[in-house]
Amino acid sequence: MTNPSNPSSTETQRPLALLSVHDKTGLAAFGRALVELGYDLLASGGTARALLQADLRPMLVEDLTGFPELLGGRVKTLHPAVHAGILSRRTPSDEAELGVYGLRRIDLVAVSLYPFEEALARGVSAEKQLEEIDIGGVALLRAASKSFEHVTVVPGPEHYAEVLEVLQKKEALGPLRRKLAALTFQKTAAYDHAIASWLLGAAATAEGGQVALRYGENPHQSGAFACAEGPPWTQHGGKELSYNNLLDLDAAWSCVAELPRDRPGAVIVKHGSPCGVAVADTLAGAVRLAIAADPISAFGGIVAVNRPLDYASVEALGDLFLEVVACPPHDPKSVVAQRDLLAAVHALKTSKKNCRILTMALDVGVDARPRARTVLGGTLTQAPDLALPEPAVWQTPTARAPSEAETEALAFAFLVAKHVKSNAIVLASHEGKALVTRGIGGGQTNRIDAVHQAIQRAGEHVAGAVLASDAFFPFSDGVEAAAAAGIAAVVQPGGALRDAEVVAAADRLGVAMCLTGRRHFRH
């Protein structure tokens, strides 16, 4: 076979395919098809051996570079002789430079990376996990993707058939190359994220894909967090997270993610249920209102916000003892954003040295993934509760309809009620242009107790507030208690046998009522 590194060969114009794959699925057939299409093959290590066993004769990377594999295989393809052939822009000057050094263009690069995430899931030792971090493969993929105008990148055996079909039909490669380059950058980004998450988890005593937690629900119980992609957060300060911290963090993040995206918002969660929620014109304003909604319950809680944390928001936390403060990531390209993050983290570390400070890798947005929990030795799964009817489709069976301001507060309260443990009652009102919860009653075994709890927590702010219930009122007593306290409007799903009695009570007491037609239990 002609040496593919020799540009004076009569076969210098034959396309050259570099194959360096961990996953050998379909490799022999793919390599054979490429040869039939006129490609020369260039392969590294185990890939070359697999091709030779299939009676194919690839050029070895070490023959091209003049170096054997080094450091036990850690260094194979990291060489100018390889990357220059991929990164050549096919211009006369680039072609001339390749010729000076006796190098050939590389027209196709097929790489499957070391199975880092699979090793993580198997729970291998930290030393073995480190060896599953692919360096050369990622470099090859990124180089080929950057050169997508001239190079076909194949980031896994699942793309072999599509690539061969286009090559065999002699169709234009441009659209396929661009698509595969985009998919490849997505894959390398996810790969790097998994590694970063593992390293961050390892810093918090990770063992084989599981982050060891400070303890479980109680100090005498052990606990761990397992996620194939690694922890979706970066921790900047504070003690190790506990089992309860993560349960509360999940509840807080789920709620803050559904707050109106156009306004800064803050959620405080305690024991798995929101105790203060607010949206305002500034993040600091939202934080202050959320704390003020129930300062007693906020003590020792978790704060989640829907904007990157800034110094003013940290000041708004005051001297309140908190377990966790979580926010979206700051823009890594913005010097101002990074400065704000550093200032906020420094201030929190100074004022609350044990508080966990987290920037979340998850988007502030609706999480559509299924939910799962273990019961009775098995697993329950369900679709997430994402449906939340808009006020435009609510029904108003009472003589008085809520005002525009009351409707806005009702929608806010009903959204929050979806995240409160059932039975759930949420009182809310306007604070200037802001919206804030005034009293939350949740986790009660009957609805009237939840109403009384919410009213008691609202205190002097109950008069003129609105009320949201996560499920229907089975009797009129809940509405009667709300009206007696000064509640102006109520929103609830409806659907009870005594709906007519409940509506009649609201009419009698001058309370506006809306029916959404959809229940939102959270057990």
Q: Active-site positions?
A: 146, 271
| CA quadruple 284, 287, 292, 298: dihedral, nearest 10 | -150
- Is residue 355 within 8 A of residue 324, CB to CB? The reply is yes
Structure letter (DSSP) for residue 245 = H
Phi and psi based region of residue 503 (left: phi greater than 0; alpha: psi -120 to 50; beta: remaining): alpha
What is the rounded CA–CA span in Å between residue 70 and residue 56?
A: 25
Instruction: Name every residue whose Cβ is closer than 8 Å to that of residue 346 and which is 6 or more positions away in sequence.
Output: none
- Is residue 333 within 8 A of residue 355, CB to CB? The reply is no
Return the structure tokens found at 446: 């009957």
| Residue 379, Cβ density class (10 Å: 0-12 exposed, 13-18 middle, ≥19 buried) | exposed
Q: Which residues pair with 437 in a beta bridge?
A: 428
Return the structure tokens found at 431: 């604070």
Sign of torsion over alpha carbons 393, 397, 403, 408:
negative
Please tell me the total number of residues recorded for the chain in this structure: 523
In 281-411, the DSSP E strands lie at: 301-305, 322-327, 356-360, 371-375, 378-382
Structure letter (DSSP) for residue 9 = S
Task: Report how far apart, in Å, the C-alpha atoms of 200 and of each of 203, 210, 236, 332 are.
Answer: 5, 11, 10, 18
| CA quadruple 411, 359, 366, 225: dihedral, nearest 10 | -120
Judge if the upstream peptide bond of residue 423 is cis by omega within 30 degrees of 0: yes
Amino acid present at 287: V
- Is residue 75 within 8 A of residue 136, CB to CB? The reply is yes
What is the rounded CA–CA span in Å between residue 115 and residue 136?
A: 14
Task: Report how far apart, in Å, the C-alpha atoms of 456 and of each of 127, 420, 439, 451, 460 are.
Answer: 56, 17, 7, 9, 9
